[in-house]
Every structure is written in C-alpha cells, then in structure tokens.
Chains A and B, each alone.
Chain A
C-alpha cells in the first residue's frame, strides 16, 4: 500500500500549474484534496511520474453567488474547483441558493475526507456513484476547463464518458463549476429538493443514489422538475425527459409512482459484487419515489409559509 515514486511540484499560480501540465502531459496528475487519488496511488491503480499540487491555489477557491436573483432567468452560482467540501458544507450561501448541493454533501465520504476533498476533485475523478457529480448533471452545471491555450466550457452532462473517464484532456485543469440557481418561482410557488442514497455503510460508495429539485405551486402542481440517478449507469445520469413529463401535473402519489417506474425502465444497470442489476433497478425506483416525495414536501412547506 505504498505509492510508486513520483516527483512533486506545488506551483504558485494556476498559469504555472497549466504550464507544468503542458510540459508533462499524461505523465502528470493534479492533486488537490487527494482523497480519491492517494488511495488509487497506494493501490498503484494510478502511477503518475509527476504530482502537481493545486490544493493551495487561491484562484481555485472562489465562491460567488448571484447578488439578485432575476425573476425571468436563472442565476449562476460559481464554485471554484479547489473549494473543499467542508467549506461548502459550512457556508450558509449554498444552503440558501444551492440547497441540493448542500444536501448532497453530507453523503460525500466522511467528515474527515470532506475536510480535504474538493468539489472539483470529486467531479474530475468521475466515479459513477459520486454525489457532487450527480448534482452537477441534474442541475445542468457548466464546467470551466483551462490549459495554456485558454478556457473551454463543457456541460456536466457531456463531461462524463465512462466510469472514471471524463472528457478532460491530460493538460487541462478544472477551474470552476457554474451551478444554475433557479429563478424566483414567484408568489404562489416554491422550490424544494432532496437527495437520498443507499450504501452498505454510511459514507461508503452509494450502491444507488438519487436526487430531485422541483418547483410546485400551493396546490402541489409541478412547474419545474429535474432529477437524476447515480450508480446505475456508466455515468451519473440526469433524467431531464422524466422531469419534463412532470410539468403541469399534480405531484400526487400516483404521478410520483409512475415517474419512478418510468425512470427505472430507462436503466440498464450492471450487477457486481455489491448489488445485482435487479437490486440496483429496484433501489433506483424506490429512491426516485422518495426524492420526489421529499422534494415536493420541502417545496410545499415553503409555499405555505409564503401564503
């Protein structure tokens, strides 16, 4: 359980880090929190010749909230890729503007790993059961990638290609994640969200996870919905088509049940040592039901307060 030898650099700026990446190409790996990379290196599943430490770069620590939420368009919540998960967890801003991410974070590893692990690190790692990646896909976040040539933007929904494989090039660094903040739902409606998962022990990789964000009016009618499922495909799966089908419907138990069944039907999960394919599909259906129910209740409790 010891890593193979490597050389270490701690650049003082993002530009310098990108320069080092350009110089060493696929022989180099970026490290920030290292909560996934260090164990992979211990097991020698990863063997970079160079480790470039970006964990202290102030340029990657930005947290920016839209000042005023416009009534007619979504805002953008910018999270620097190097922001540690514990910082986002304790910051009151994400709880108010980006509650789905705030709820997902408590499922990410343990307090000890969240004290080191970063928001961006979890995304580029590309684990199919990663909570932050699922939230980025469900909310349709945009990722900013930088190299010496400049900046590229990639939607999270196109970033993940296969388990642990993303579209990031060896010389690119993820610099920030732009999460949409849904526009003000208006007087008689409110936003609600939920995240849930099943794992062998709390803090372990999720067998299956699901999350949803909805806007419902005081009668329980759905005005907007996004949902997704993790751990059931080769990438974190956003299901915008299921969300779109809910719009205009009353989020009754029957509607929720039908949506969960429709979502489960779309899946073709793989079985492994931890869970069979059938069990994963079953969990997906149960978890989609749960998150839609909880997200609706969350929203309804706010419409009542507003009324």
Chain B
C-alpha cells in the first residue's frame, strides 16, 4: 500500500505539524502574558500622579515608599488585581459557554445568565437597600439560581444547545423587565446606585474584594482547566463526543456549572461588565487561529480587555467612565459585526 522504506519514524510528519502549531499557541500565550504585565505596570504607574516603575515595584514587594504606598498599594493595586481576576473569570466563563453551545453568540451576557445576577442586585438595592458583601452574595447566588432554572427548563431528555439559548433569551427578557420595573419605582438615589451597579465598574475594588475573588478563582480556574479537555470533544457534536468517551450531557452540565460560577463571581465583584465574556473568546480565536485550546488565551484576553477598558475610562476620555461603559460602547459595534460575520460563516467557535 505505501512504501515501507521510510527514513522518518512512523508519525513524524504529523508530529512535525503538531509541534509547529503547539509552538504558535505558546507564542500567543507568552505574548499575551507579557502585554498583560506591561499594561498592569502601566495602570499602576500612571494616574493623577505618575510614579516610576521602580517605586511601584517596591510597593508591590511590600516596601514602604512614602507618597506612593497608599495610592499604589491601597488604591491602584487592588483595582488592577480585581480587573485581572474579573477579566479572567469573564473570559474563561464566556468562552466555555460559546464553545459548549457551539455558537459564538451564546454568551452569558446575551442569553440571560448575567441578567440573573443583575436583576437580583437591582432589586436588592432598590427594594431592600442592601450593599457591600451581602449584595455580592445575593448576586452570586441569584446568578447560579437563574442559570439552574434555565438549565432545568431546557431539559427534556437531555439539554439541547438551541433550546438552552432560546429559553435563556426568554428568561433574560423577563428579568430585564423586572429591572425596568425596579428602576421605575425606586427613588432617584437608589436608581443611580442601581445604574452604577448595572454598568460594571472597578470603582469599589479594594482589598476586601480581592481576597474572596482570588479564593474563588483559585478553585474554579483549575476546575475549568481540567474540564477543558471535555470541551474539545463536545465541540465535535454530541454524537462524536459520546463516541470519544466524553458523555455529552454530563460533561455539558459540569462545564456549565463551572462557567456560571466564574461569571457570577466576576459579576459579584465588579458588576456585569458589558461584553467581556462575549468578546474574549472570538478575539482569542482570531489570535490562535486553530492552533490550540482557547481557554487560557480567552482568559488573558478578558483580563486585558478589563484593564485597558478601565484605564481608558479613567484617563483617556476626559470624563471618568466606568469600565462597563467603555467595553459597552466599543464592544457593541464589534458585537454586531461579529454577528454578521458569524452568520455568514456558520457561527461556531
């Protein structure tokens, strides 16, 4: 059938290609990490007062630098760290959803998952006057609860991605009306508070926020990484996935739980920052271009989007805008363009 006299060992041709792609993937990840660190340093140095990188590094390492310690150590550093962690959470959660449901438009902020946290938070603010840690807990719990409801409602001998998406949209619309109602009934102060929460911002990202956030991610991120292998099988369709030994429904459920937890935790920490969960996956996809898994590139892209968005919102636009507005305004046209393009080419990541 084929020549048995081969100079190369069996599998060498394939291995060469695979290793080249692997190298390209690693390059992309390394570049993303470097850029992220650079932007991180930038946000710590630049602001109303600019500090030298050396001073910043010394503060980070725990030394006391008069004049810098407070601003950098207690204001900018927690804000930047929160930004990174929240970006990772949204980026990972978003790409997990998009891959699992095989549709780039099936992002948690489009299909009503984030709406769960938001609606609960708005009601908590305007009706019950909650704030701070209690509010965050309510937001996380509601996000998970609503996601569970959507999952349960779309279960009918197993969960089909299409049905999940459509039911998510319906529930999202219902929750939006709850939000509108709460806002229309509230006193104007509460309304402002609610709107601020709804837009997503890092303005209240102090050290007490960073610690629980970091802990949660410490659990969720490794889980997501382990489960990402199942993503690779699910991408091929339910039948192919089962054939490869990855049972479709069970894997999807596990992935959904972790993805929802990631998104809810991010939302609790910084509000629903518009479009980060949606955009991180497609942007990572364009960078990686089939060379490998999207999970970590998307996480890094998410972190970058949040950091850059916040930096732009704080210093580059004249007025101070929270990060949610920046990502919302810039993300919206890109979202529509992606929509058009994905419809043309088929839509799955």
Same complex origin of A and B: no
What is B's interface to A at a CB cutoff of 8 Å?
A: none
